[in-house]
A and B are shown apart, each in its own frame.
Chain A
């Protein structure tokens, strides 16, 4: 889901950068001292998650974990994903520096959207929480794919073709991430409820 350098035109790049900057500002404002560690750890998990490949047909798909970041961090997913993408671009040459804004915007907006859609469900008990977590993880990938396709709509590839390619390649990823997110959320809710309640209750 990392778009490479040189694919998109300048207006799209600027739009992405603007969205990313706004999201990062919003995330940083909501990030207090107690959440720093969670943000750093999940950012590191995102960073490493991209190295885990799920073999599917001709395409190359890897874990994204943006749904998980959305579920736990809410708006703080923006700075977390930005940091991870920056390091991936510098150390692994994934994506690139000029396209950092677009990549952050596509993956982090999906995370925040999922946070708002599914956090009511995840605050419930038992099965509902598992279901909420699964949907959050799966839809994180789904929305990120759609946003990525939307930003490719203005390139040669076109929205429909790109969306088709991305979504087909990422169906297994969606399932895997749904499971990972559901298990992580239910584990955190039992073992470390304050981590989840941080963005549910006392968000400033």
Chain B
């Protein structure tokens, strides 16, 4: 065991110093997060919550077959907003939203068809007065459509009501969503960093043990 013990203090100091400076730093990982409000989808892109990806390319594609619907560029706040294209609505496609931040940085997020289709279906039905093709709310949908065929205003009222409820729920949910985004995009914490350093100590121990047995 002629380990160079005199080497340790200096190097450990260097590592500790690096660790201290590292604490306020953020993740070097791109994140993309998207949510639907009606048929408008907002995409947020960031290296972390405080460093948005400016001018990153956003590609919206069908999750099932990879067909590209549209692409766009994030603004200075790392945000890109788009309206779900009709082609996607028709197919009820799950959207894969991929962010290309350059330099080989990439991340993706899935928006399920249900997230935007739930709100577009009733609106379509109200406009045309035809039966719902909607999922989930099939029971009430049939009733609403039947009423629409007879009277007209009833179904319009229901659509309006739906819209109002959606808006209120949207507003109530907003803070929760912000919290989710922050959680999703938060960088490595102190525990992760310390844990990583612990791994190095452990790996070194194992390697030293193996080497010492061999001699």
Query: A residues bordering B, Cβ < 8 Å?
Result: 1-8, 32-34, 36-38, 40-45, 47-53, 58-60, 62, 83, 87-88, 91-94, 148, 151-152, 155-157, 162, 165-166, 169, 184, 187, 191-192, 194-195
CB pair A53–B28 under 8 Å, yes or no, is yes
Tell me if B82 counts as interface (CB < 8 A to partner A).
no
With both beta carbons as reference points, the residue of chain A lying nearest to B14 in the complex is identified as: A45
Contact with A along B19-46 (1 / 0, CB 8 A): 1011001111110000000000000000
Q: A165-B103, A184-B14 are in contact. Are A62 and B28 (CB under 8 A)?
A: yes
Q: Distance (Å) between the CB of A36 and the closest chain B CB? A: 5
- Whether B203 contacts A40 by the Cβ 8 Å rule is yes
User: What is the interface of chain B, defined by CB distance below 8 A to chain A?
Assistant: 2-4, 6-8, 10-12, 14-15, 18-19, 21-22, 25-30, 47, 51, 53-55, 100, 102-108, 187-188, 192-193, 195-197, 199-201, 203-204, 207-208, 211-212, 215
- Complex Cα spacing A102 to B29, Å: 17
Given contacts A7-B104, A162-B104, contact A48 B10 (CB under 8 A): no
Task: Verify B21–A52 contact, CB threshold 8 A.
Answer: yes
Contact check, A44 vs B200: say whether CB atoms are below 8 A apart.
yes
Q: Which of chain B's residues have a CB closer than 8 A to the CB of A169? A: 103
A94/B27 in contact, CB under 8 A: yes
Contact yes or no, B51 A60, CB < 8 A:
yes
B188 touches A92 (CB 8 A): yes
Q: What number of residue pairs across chains A and B have CB atoms under 8 A from each other?
A: 142
Of all chain A residues, the one with the shortest Cβ separation from B205 is A40
Asked if A53 meets B26 with Cβ closer than 8 Å, knowing A37-B3, A58-B54, A91-B195, the reply is yes
Which partner residue on chain B sits nearest A80 by CB separation?
Answer: B200
Can you name 16 A-B pairs with beta carbons within 8 Å? A1-B103, A3-B105, A4-B30, A34-B3, A40-B200, A41-B12, A44-B15, A45-B18, A49-B18, A51-B187, A52-B18, A91-B192, A91-B196, A93-B27, A148-B103, A152-B103
Complex: A60 Cα to B107 Cα, angstroms: 15
Classify the secondary structure of A's interface with B. helix
Residue B28 contacts which of A5, A8, A94 (CB distance < 8 angstroms)?
A94
Candidates A8, A33, A94, A166; contact of B103 at CB < 8 Å: A166
Quick check: A44 and B212 within 8 Å, CB to CB? Answer: no
The 4 closest A-B pairs by CB, nearest first: A3-B104, A40-B204, A51-B22, A41-B11
> Judging by beta carbons under 8 Å apart, are B47 and A60 in contact?
yes
Question: Beyond the given A3-B104, A38-B7, A157-B100, could you list 13 further A-B residue pairs with CB under 8 A, ordered by the A residue number?
Answer: A1-B103, A2-B29, A5-B106, A33-B212, A33-B215, A34-B3, A36-B204, A47-B197, A51-B22, A52-B22, A52-B25, A91-B195, A192-B10
- Cα distance, A195 to B10, chains bound together (Å): 12
Across-interface contacts of B47 in A (CB, < 8 A): 60
The answer on a CB contact under 8 Å between B211 and A33 is yes
- CB of A165 within 8 A of CB of B102, answer yes
Contact of A48 among B2, B7, B12, B19 (CB under 8 A): B19
Asked if A53 and B25 sit within 8 Å, CB to CB, the answer is yes
Query: Of residues B6, B12, B203, which shows the largest number of chain A Cβ atoms within 10 Å of its Cβ?
Result: B203
Most buried by A among B107, B188, B196: B196
A194 to B19, CA, bound (A): 26
CA distance A94 to B27 in the complex (A): 8
CA distance A83 to B187 in the complex (A): 20
